């Protein structure tokens, strides 16, 4: 169940970042509220996962999901660059995150 909580936390982190972008410096009410809700959910589910999982791999996976997901959403919906360098670096984040998980012994 801890891994499931960690996945929820990662996806909530993506929701928080998207909402933060849409809030435009907390100028828009609903995206601002969504940012706070998603951020709170993200930390809540991360905290649940950390009751069982070691902090290093859990944090790496949480930030990996959040960063890769945010970049992909930015490229897909916010017209951010889609060049080969960015794709390569996203792959590096994924490889690093998986590497931390594999070497954790968990």
Rounded to whole angstroms, the Cα distance separating 11 from 17 reads 10
Q: 20-47: per-residue pLDDT in tens?
A: 999 999 999 999 999 999 999 999 999 9
Give the mean model confidence (pLDDT) for residues 7-16.
98
- 3-state class of 104 per DSSP? coil
- 3-state class of 9 per DSSP? helix
Predicted confidence (pLDDT) at residue 104 exceeds the cutoff of 70: yes
Please state whether 105 falls in left (phi above 0), alpha (psi between -120 and 50) or beta: left
User: What are the structural domain ranges in the chain?
Assistant: 2-103
Predicted confidence (pLDDT) at residue 78 exceeds the cutoff of 90: yes
Predicted confidence (pLDDT) at residue 106 exceeds the cutoff of 70: no
pLDDT above 70 covers a percentage of the chain that reads: 99
Rounded to whole angstroms, the Cα distance separating 42 from 11 reads 8
Q: What is the pTM of this model?
A: 0.90
Rounded to whole angstroms, the Cα distance separating 17 from 3 reads 21
């Amino acid at each position: 169940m801890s891994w499931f909580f960690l996945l929820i936390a990662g996806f909530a982190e993506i929701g928080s970042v998207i909402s933060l972008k849409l809030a435009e410096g907390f100028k828009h009410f609903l995206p601002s509220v969504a940012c706070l809700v998603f951020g709170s959910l993200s930390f809540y589910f991360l905290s649940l996962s950390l009751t069982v999982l070691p902090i290093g791999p859990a944090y790496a996976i949480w930030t990996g999901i959040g960063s890769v997901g945010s970049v992909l959403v930015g490229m897909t919906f916010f017209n951010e660059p889609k060049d080969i360098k960015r794709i390569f670096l996203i792959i590096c984040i994924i490889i690093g995150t998986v590497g931390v998980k594999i070497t954790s012994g968990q």
